[in-house]
Amino acid sequence: GMLEWFKNNFAAEEQKLADAKGVSVWDPLMDLAKEVPAGSRGVFFLPHFAGAGAPHVDNRSLGAFAGLNEGADKGVLLRALIEGLDYQFLEFIVNLEKALGEKLERVVAVGGTARNSFWMQNKADVSGKAVEVPGYEEATPLGTAMLAGIGAGIYADEADAFKRVYKAGSVYEPDKANHELYRQYFEVYRKLYPGLKDISHTIFDMFRS
């Protein structure tokens, strides 16, 4: 993913520090991001490394940092990257709610990134939704076991299996002050794709096609 790209290209110093302390490299990296205020000092990131997904669906759209300035150090770029991914997540949520005709109260995050508490809190702050991380790490095998249990008659249906098996872990509630800031910044983010679309297509056709 994009965080792996950042780590592999910009985190040699943090990797050495983490190895010396016997901790994950994400610990010192997230410490850098935490030091940066919400909004990444005016730096925005469009996370289109592999084109744009919903709602744009454009395989010729390219990723970009916008608003680079003299204050854009490693921590700023990392936080901007995380915020860009979370703005993209919010854009998906906005369109999903529009399609469903109702508001989501919370979202459930699973997978390796769900263990990143800073990212989960930022996702809650950007989206304005509570982000719930289940009390187990391997969601796919658990889901498979639940379906097998339904087939074996242990559970009546999916709802019964969920009620009897699911265990909530951490819940990240949005910080109201940060969310108000992110509501403004999100409107800037939404202008990045249309603003960069033509130049992205030109670059894509010139170098990638």
Residue 19 lies in a domain: yes
pLDDT of amino acid 29: 95
Average pLDDT over residues 81-96: 97
Q: What is the mean pLDDT of the chain?
A: 92
Q: How many domains does the chain have?
A: 1
Residue 126 lies in a domain: no
Residue 107 has pLDDT above 80, yes or no: yes
Where residue 139 falls among pLDDT bands split at 50, 70, 90? low
Residue 162 lies in a domain: no
Residue 136 lies in a domain: no
pLDDT of amino acid 161: 82
pLDDT of amino acid 168: 73
pTM of structure: 0.87
Residue 45 lies in a domain: yes
3-state SS string for the chain: CHHHHHHHHHCHHHHHHHHHHCCCCHHHHHHHHHCCCCCHHHCEEECCECEECCCCCECCCCCEEECCCCCCCHHHHHHHHHHHHHHHHHHHHHHHHHHHCCCCCEEECCCHHHHCHHHHHHHHHHHCCEEEEECCCCHHHHHHHHHHHHHCCCCCCHHHHHHHHCCEEEEECCCHHHHHHHHHHHHHHHHHHHHHHHHHHHHHHHHCC
pLDDT of amino acid 160: 87
Residue 49 lies in a domain: yes
Candidate ranges 127-136, 143-152, 174-183; pick with highest mean pLDDT: 174-183
Q: Of 94, 151, 162, 153, nearest to 128 (Cα)?
A: 94
pLDDT of amino acid 208: 82
Residue 3 contacts residue 25 (beta carbons within 8 Å):
no
Residue 6 lies in a domain: yes
Average pLDDT over residues 156-183: 89
Domain containing 45: what range?
2-103+182-207
164 or 35, greater pLDDT: 35
Query: Could you report the per-residue pLDDT of 35-84, keeping only the tens digit for each?
Result: 999 999 999 999 999 999 888 899 999 999 999 999 999 999 999 999 99
Residue 80 maps to which CATH number?
Answer: 3.30.420.40
Residue 154 lies in a domain: no
Where residue 112 falls among pLDDT bands split at 50, 70, 90? confident
